[in-house]
């Protein structure tokens, strides 16, 4: 389908229509070889509450944004390269069904579909696009993913100290490493995680200690690297190699998935049948 539609007028018109809906606030989406495969409204787990979001699936990227006027105006455009995406099916909860997680190195979040069939179609389309893209680029599937944020309403107390109760005056904060909802006292530290941001980010005390320990271990490994041996034999060049090995021992406890969601009544729709 991608090869058949890549240079067609209908594909160009559909992409132009999406660009027009995002307006000047969105980035250009028309590039050579890009095909728009389908669109639909999914419910996205946000920090305050689940919200409907418009999603557009291209053969190389996933684009989503906030709905101002459906089919006419969207904002807050987000573009996710598909080669960085991993999918994980999640079990239903009493409040939310047909859930799955979209995981990337910079951001991971939970979405839900209006029906089981719609979820299967979304996942099938996404996995097929990811598979073809990885084959084309020769890249391996991504293994490092950002932690999804636990919604605010998932807990009334700090998930680390379990003592501080949140209120209008006592704010909730999120650790950028584990995604837990924590109080200010349990998240006073900042740590530089270049994969997520060029600036130091808020982390909880436990993750801060773990990140410091990992950084110290890496520094010690670098110091243990042997000095190059310079041979007295003319023309001899000592071999070089990289023996550093990074490990991640983060074993933070998992929080029960009991978040309320709202399902969307809009089903998956493909521009091209």
Return the domain boundaries, the chain: 3-145, 149-220
pTM: 0.74
HEC profile for the chain? CHHHHCCCHHHHHHHHHHHHHHHHHCCCCCCCCCCEEEEEEEEECCCCCCEEEEEEEECCEEEEEEEEECCCEEEEEEEEEHHHCEEEECCCCCCCCCEEEEECCCCEEEEECCCHHHHHHHHHHHHHHHHHHHHHHCCCCCCCCCCCCCCHHHCCECCCCCCCECCCCCCCEECCCCCCEECCHHHCEEECCCCCCCCCEEECHHHHHHHHHHHHHHHHHHHCCCCCCCCCCCCCCCCCCCCCCCCCCCCCCCCCCCCCCCCCCCCCECCCC
According to the model, what pLDDT value does residue 1 have?
A: 64
Q: What is the mean pLDDT of each run of 10 residues along the chain (273 residues)?
A: 78 95 94 94 92 96 96 95 95 90 94 96 96 90 88 93 94 94 95 90 95 90 67 35 36 40 39 38
| pLDDT for position 173 | 95
> How many whole angstroms separate alpha carbon 105 and alpha carbon 84?
7
The pLDDT score that the predictor gives to residue 251 is 37
What pLDDT is attached to residue 27?
Answer: 95
Which residues does 16 contact at the CB level (< 8 Å), separation at least 6? 30
- Nearest-10 Cα torsion for 79, 107, 121, 267: -70
Return all residues near 37 (Cβ < 8 A) that are at least 6 apart: 1, 2, 57, 58, 59, 125, 129, 270, 271, 272
Residue 227: per-residue pLDDT: 59
pLDDT confidence of residue 5: 78
**Residue 52 CB coordination number (10 Å):** 16
**CATH domain 3-145 topology:** PH-domain like (2.30.29)
33: left (phi over 0), alpha (psi -120 to 50) or beta: left
Closest C-alpha among 247, 244, 251, 189 to residue 214:
247
Short-list 77, 70, 67, 81, CA closest to 19: 77
149-220 fold: Herpes Virus-1 (3.30.40)
């Amino acid at each position: 389908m991608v090869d058949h539609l890549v240079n067609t007028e209908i594909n160009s018109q559909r992409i132009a229509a999406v660009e027009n809906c995002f307006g000047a606030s969105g980035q250009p989406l028309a590039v050579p070889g890009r095909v728009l495969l389908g669109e639909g409204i999914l419910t996205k787990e946000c920090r305050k509450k689940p919200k409907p979001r418009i999603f557009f699936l291209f053969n190389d990227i996933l684009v989503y944004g906030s709905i101002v006027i459906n089919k006419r105006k969207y904002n807050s455009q987000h573009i996710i390269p598909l080669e960085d995406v991993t999918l994980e099916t999640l079990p239903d909860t009493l409040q939310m069904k047909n859930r799955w997680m979209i995981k990337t190195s910079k951001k991971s979040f939970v979405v839900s579909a209006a029906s089981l069939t719609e979820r299967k179609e979304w996942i099938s389309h996404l996995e097929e696009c990811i598979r073809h893209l990885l084959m084309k680029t020769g890249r391996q599937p991504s293994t490092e993913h950002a932690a999804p944020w636990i919604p605010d309403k998932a807990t009334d107390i700090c998930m680390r100290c379990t003592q501080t109760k949140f209120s209008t005056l006592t704010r909730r904060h999120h650790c950028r490493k584990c995604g837990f909802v924590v109080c200010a006292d349990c998240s006073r530290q900042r740590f530089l995680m270049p994969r997520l941001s060029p600036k130091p980010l808020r982390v909880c005390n436990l993750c801060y200690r773990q990140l410091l320990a990992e950084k110290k271990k890496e520094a010690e490994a670098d110091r243990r690297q042997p000095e190059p041996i310079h041979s007295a034999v003319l023309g001899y060049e000592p071999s070089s190699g990289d023996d550093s090995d990074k490990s991640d021992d983060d074993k933070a406890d998992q929080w029960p998935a009991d978040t309320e969601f709202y399902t969307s009544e809009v089903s998956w729709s493909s521009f091209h049948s």
